[in-house]
Chain A
Amino acid sequence: MNPKRKRRLIVALLVIAAATVAISLTVFALQQNMNYLYSPTEIDAGKAPPHHQFRLGGVVKEHSVVRDGQSLKVQFVVTDRFHDMPVVYTGILPDLFREGQSVIVTGHMDDGHFVGTEVLAKHDETYMPKEVADAIRKAQAAGRADPKHMTHPKGGS
């Protein structure tokens, strides 16, 4: 092999090695940090991972917010008007957090309730998962806001 070709070969091998390392690291990092979004109905259907972190999307149920008197612990219920999910969170809630408004909570399941580590709230419907928005629209169309009477089995996708 002449020196020029040899050098090219070395460069090519280095580039391939670097690309392989970069791609595998990226895929690994993506897998570790991908957060799926589920509605309470999907969690009820067993779609959410039991131990892994994910995001819970829905509406803060009216009259469900209960604060602890001593700390910043707060409990509330996230609903998609078909199923409810109790949430525990310790910390400061965002300015736009309101009962009846949509939220996305990042966290994990623990013994039947959701332990939140981060709460995002927005007036904007775009922050609401489409499935949840659709489910809520259906519920409103049915004119039955009280989720206890909602027995419609199909809420999510």
Chain B
Amino acid sequence: MLPELGQFALVLALLLATLQGVLPLLGAWRGSPAMMAVARPAAIGQALFVALAFGLLAYAFLHFDFSVAYVADNSNLALPWYYRFAAVWGAHEGSMLLWMLILNLWTLALAIFGTRLPEVFHARVLGVLGLLSVGFLLFILLTSNPFTRLLPPPLDGADLNPVLQDPGMTFHPPVLYMGYVGFSVAFAFSIAALLGGGLDKQWVRWARPWTNVAWGFLTLGIVAGSWWAYAELGWGGWWFWDPVENASFMPWLVGTALIHSQAITEKRGSLPAWTVLLSIFAFSLSLLGTFLVRSGVLTSVHSFAADPKRGVFILIYLCIVIGGSLLLYALRAPKVAGGKPFAPLSRETLLLIVNLLLTSAAAMVLLGTLFPLIGDAFGWGRISVGPPYFGSLFILLMAPAILLLPLGPFARWGRAEGRLLVRIGLQAAVSAVVLAGVLFAARMSGVPSWRAILGGLSSLYVIYGVLAFARKRWREAPRGRRYPAEMLGMLVAHFGVGIFLAGVLLTTALSVEHDIRMAPGQTETIGAYGFRFEGVTHTTGPNWKADQGAVQVLKNGHPLTVLHPQKRTYERGQVQTESAVEAGPMRDLYVALGEPLDNGAWAMRIYVKPFVRWLWGGGILMMIGGFIAAADRRFRLRREAQANASALHADRDPQPEGAQA
């Protein structure tokens, strides 16, 4: 009975979504306040019904209702309750429902907090989000119904994919979806602006915190996914240029470009058409990402079996959303285009260059990710694109962006001083060289690799630029107005980039990875660390049995810790490697069991990975920066103050360089 209620709730949500998608847009067109007024209650009702459906699915999981096919496929009696709850989004149907719920939550937030927006604009935004909901709910109900019954119900269910049975996995998809779906707000704002025929600086200011928050969540989601792959896939890698990782990375790249171009448009009124286009791309890539991962079009660790019906629906949905919005853009962009001109050397130009680099990187990743599909379609054979393609092109594209990063805040809006920028750049470069020289001389013996040198230099270069700008503000700005939230967020995020660079390049350069055969009692030495294999014992968990190794770690001959890597066998026979990590700020010691060999010996991975935590730390700093910037009071203008403020703001803008990020 309850699962049917869930399905019924989804149908009702679909009806409300249709109302929300059609009436307010009609009302905005015909100038009917009554029709526009439908938007809010419809959005709230829709959110309630989807939340009800989600709750009922979770209830079915928690109460072992194996008469629901989706529950029977993804959980069993032995699965602990927290993984049964996480199993709600452990496969295709449920993750689509989660996506839907998160779209509803963003819409709900807009419906509630958006009342300060002009009525017509608010109605259009909610209408666009309603139309997105209609498509998604139809997709769930027609092709991916999580409430489909399985009769007669089995006595016990199958199992949740063991790679998903990990604490990191319980929150990775929701956080990632918060980011993906969050870009729908900027998208809806852009479409509403195009429908209205004009792009107001005001809406950009209003869209900025939403985009920053979405971007922050997406950053966290990617960091969590990377960390999870490191700990859970058992080969110590943190990024593989796997199609699924690329799927989340493309919206991130475009989203990063978007938060910067929104800053230009909001502060200077320049490049409005570009901002609108990026909003469309960011959300389109999020949609593409969701579907690439879950549809099984591309084979990867995350994909589930492909269903042609789903594929066709997805393709139609993508065509309507992306094609429709681009068509609207083509028709309306001439009205939006223009904006304030700026000098060839100005903060606008620097930001625009970085924007182009970021979007080029996204296009490059898109090409590499879809190339196997293209090759297949044209009959070129079964092709895969190797990680070096992504790695080398990405470094090539991002290197100039990193070079420009410290200069951006020093460049004036409108027209910048070339001399000042060159001076800052040189100072940063020289300081980086000197500091890196000192650090390497103190820490290393022998000549470090070019990657390590590059990592140290680029990281110090960026960090110097950030600190120099912070110092400049400290000296020149009046007390209390030195670091508005928006600028503080920028500084924290850019500092995060520096930390991230150090992490990535130093880890890549300095990691020592030994894949070896270890007999009990054998010791493997890497640098100052010794790893003594003490043998393997058996252990059990709620729904798995495992071989558990014991590895005594020694530092300069003194015991440091004992690591317990596991090789788990779940009830349905799936095998899963659980690595054991002794984490530290300067290095991780990473041990994973490979496979049993003869005489109690095991194939083992014994890695020392210096600075690997820094790359996730850098990502988390970027996220925090995004959240801090979103909290800026400037974005929360009162309705009556708005009209005046926007007029005033335009005049007030050419202020001392970098007053606002």
Contact = CB atoms under 8 A, between A and B. Distances in A.
A95 B575 contact: yes
Contacts of A25: 393, 396
A17 interface: no
A154 to B, nearest CB: 17
B640 interface: no
Nearest to A123: B574
Contacts of B515: 72, 91-92
Interface string B593-605: 0110110000111
B517 interface: yes
The residue among A34, A55, A122 with the most chain B CB atoms within 10 A of its own CB is: A34
A65 to B, nearest CB: 11
A36 B381 contact: yes
B525 interface: no
B648 interface: no
Contacts of B305: 124, 126
Interface string B11-52: 000000000000000000000000000000000000000000
Contacts of A70: 517
B597 A29 contact: no
A26 B364 contact: yes
Contact of B594 (A7, A33, A92): A92
Contacts of A88: none
B399 interface: no
A96 B306 contact: no
A151 interface: no
B383 A34 contact: yes
A55 B384 contact: yes
B389 A32 contact: yes
Contact of A72 (B306, B393, B576, B603): B603
B371 interface: yes
Contact of A30 (B368, B381, B575): B368
Interface in A122-141: 122, 124, 126-127, 129-130
A35 B598 CA distance: 35
Contact of B384 (A22, A35, A69, A92): A35
A113 interface: no
A16 B83 CA distance: 53
B382 A129 contact: yes
A152 interface: no
A144 interface: no
B565 interface: no
A124 B304 CA distance: 9
Interface in B574-610: 575-577, 594-595, 597-598, 603-605
Interface string A101-129: 00000000000000000000010101101
Interface in A23-60: 25-26, 29-30, 32-37, 55, 57
B279 to A, nearest CB: 22
Contact of A126 (B299, B364, B604): B299
Contacts of B567: 95
A88 to B, nearest CB: 15
A67 to B, nearest CB: 6
B516 interface: yes
Contact of B381 (A32, A37, A93): A37
B303 interface: yes
A2 interface: no
B367 A26 contact: yes
B384 A37 contact: yes
Nearest to A118: B386
B389 A30 contact: yes
B360 interface: yes
Contacts of A93: 594-595, 603
Contact of A37 (B234, B303, B383): B383
A8 B344 CA distance: 11
Contacts of B381: 36-37
A127 B389 contact: no
Contacts of A92: 235, 515, 594-595, 603-605
Contacts of B303: 126
Interface string B351-379: 00000000010001001100100000000
B388 A33 contact: yes
A13 B639 CA distance: 46
Nearest to A73: B517
A35 B393 contact: no
Contacts of A130: 382
A26 B567 CA distance: 41
Interface in A59-102: 67, 69-72, 91-93, 95-96
B296 interface: yes
Contacts of B296: 126
A156 to B, nearest CB: 10
B576 to A, nearest CB: 7
Nearest to A125: B305
A84 to B, nearest CB: 20
B385 interface: yes
B644 interface: no
Contacts of A7: 344
Contacts of B383: 34-37
A127 B595 CA distance: 22
A12 to B, nearest CB: 14
A1 B113 CA distance: 53
Interface in B290-316: 296, 299, 303, 305-306
The residue among A70, A95, A130 with the most chain B CB atoms within 10 A of its own CB is: A95
Contact of A35 (B360, B386, B396, B517): B386
B393 A29 contact: yes
A57 B384 CA distance: 12
29 contacts: A25-B393, A25-B396, A29-B389, A30-B367, A32-B389, A33-B386, A33-B388, A34-B383, A34-B386, A35-B385, A37-B381, A37-B383, A57-B382, A67-B598, A69-B598, A70-B517, A72-B515, A72-B603, A91-B515, A92-B594, A92-B605, A93-B594, A95-B575, A95-B577, A122-B299, A124-B299, A124-B305, A126-B303, A130-B382
Interface of B: 234-235, 296, 299, 303, 305-306, 344, 360, 364, 367-368, 371, 381-389, 392-393, 396, 515-517, 567, 575-577, 594-595, 597-598, 603-605
The 10 closest A-B pairs by CB, nearest first: A92-B594, A33-B386, A33-B389, A37-B382, A95-B575, A29-B389, A126-B299, A92-B603, A35-B384, A36-B381
Given A30-B385, A37-B381, A93-B594, 8 more contacts: A7-B344, A25-B393, A29-B393, A33-B387, A92-B603, A95-B575, A126-B296, A126-B299
